[in-house]
Amino acid sequence: MDASMTQEKQTANPPATGPAKLNLTGKLEEVRRYWNDHIHDLELAKHPVGTLGFFEDLAEYRFDKLRYLPKVVDFASYKGKSVLEIGCGVGIDLVKFAENGAHVTGVDLSETAIDLARKNFAHRKLDGNFLVMNGEDLDFPDASFDVVYVHGVLQYTADPHQMAREMYRVLRKGGEAIGMVYNRISWLNALSKVMKVDLEHEDAPVLEKYTIGEFRDILSPFDEIEIIPERFPVASRLHKGWKGALYNGLFVPAFTILPKAIVRPLGWHIMAFARKK
Ligand SMILES: C[S@@+](CC[C@H](N)C(=O)[O-])C[C@H]1O[C@@H](n2cnc3c(N)ncnc32)[C@H](O)[C@@H]1O
């Protein structure tokens, strides 16, 4: 996707309107606590939490698993734009935007995530503005950003419709929102049920899977929405034993030869590119 949009006033770091105010309801408080404990517990990282090696391990794993991401999100095309990521986690994707010259702000409910995202940027000597904030109640004025990026977050929050309204509010006219939720009618959701293998973070206090129609409904504040289902099987490093062998040795190669045009609606990640006119 390209980021050619009318550029209004450029602000490097749009100011929050005040100090962080987290008036969380019960469910969001559970979400905050869960991600404080789990944002950094990925067993695939070989280096100590918070080191540059740790962030490199996570980025390497992420972009191996999500091979589609740099193909559909052209990080270089956002140079000079102000990008807000809601639910930024440890900031892996924001690094890509910042390395390519975007002015980035990351917010997350989890203090652990924000602390790690700051460390990630410090290791790489990149500028970024990181705040503990609720994406359903953003502390930014209307029309603050050119791009709002929400990858793997709407499905973990208490009220995704409220988050989408906030995404729309803080976007400038001509701005673009980029989001991803999990597809309920997808190869991975079906496989996990048949093989009785839990998906990552299946124990989170909120984890919803949506159909393409339901995702469109969440994004209904937006004026234009383009949906692209993505994320097809690649070999797993996490799953071992006979299930891992069957998946890596049979399922992945068999699925890979199926024509994309046929299997695309079954992609695990529903990517959306939405515009505010
Ligand atoms: C699965 S992680 C995704 C992190 C990152 N976007 C990525 O793709 O690696 C979900 C993140 O969303 C955050 N989150 C969930 N609900 C949120 C909310 N209402 N406001 C801000 N962050 C939220 C969690 O704290 C967690 O860091």
Q: Ligand 1: distance of its center to the CA of 46 in Å?
A: 23
Closest residue CA from atom 13 of ligand 1: 87
**CATH domain 26-232+266-275 topology:** Rossmann fold (3.40.50)
156-208 tens-digit pLDDT:
999 999 999 999 999 999 999 999 999 999 888 888 888 888 888 999 999 99
83, β-bridge pairs: 104, 147
Q: Where are the domains of the chain?
A: 26-232+266-275
Q: Ligand 1: distance of its center to the CA of 166 in Å?
A: 15
Which residue do the tokens 């100590």 mark? Answer: 48
Q: Give the CA distances from residue 169 to residues 15, 136, 144, 164, 251, in Å, rounded to whole numbers and listed in that order.
A: 15, 11, 9, 9, 43
Q: Ligand 1: distance of its center to the CA of 138 in Å?
A: 14
221-276 tens-digit pLDDT:
999 999 999 998 887 777 778 888 877 877 788 878 888 888 899 999 999 999 99
Which residues have CB under 6 Å of ligand 1?
28, 31, 35, 39, 86-89, 92, 107-110, 113, 134-136, 151-153, 156-157
State the Cα angle at 89 between 5 and 213, rounded to 5°: 60
Mean pLDDT of the chain: 89
33-43 tens-digit pLDDT:
999 999 876 67
> Ligand 1, residues 41, 69, 109: which to mutate, most atoms within 8 A of Cβ?
109
Contact between 65 and 198 under an 8 Å Cβ cutoff? The reply is: no
| pTM tops 0.95 | no
Residue 138: which residues within 8 A CB-CB, separation 6 or more?
86, 107, 166, 169, 170
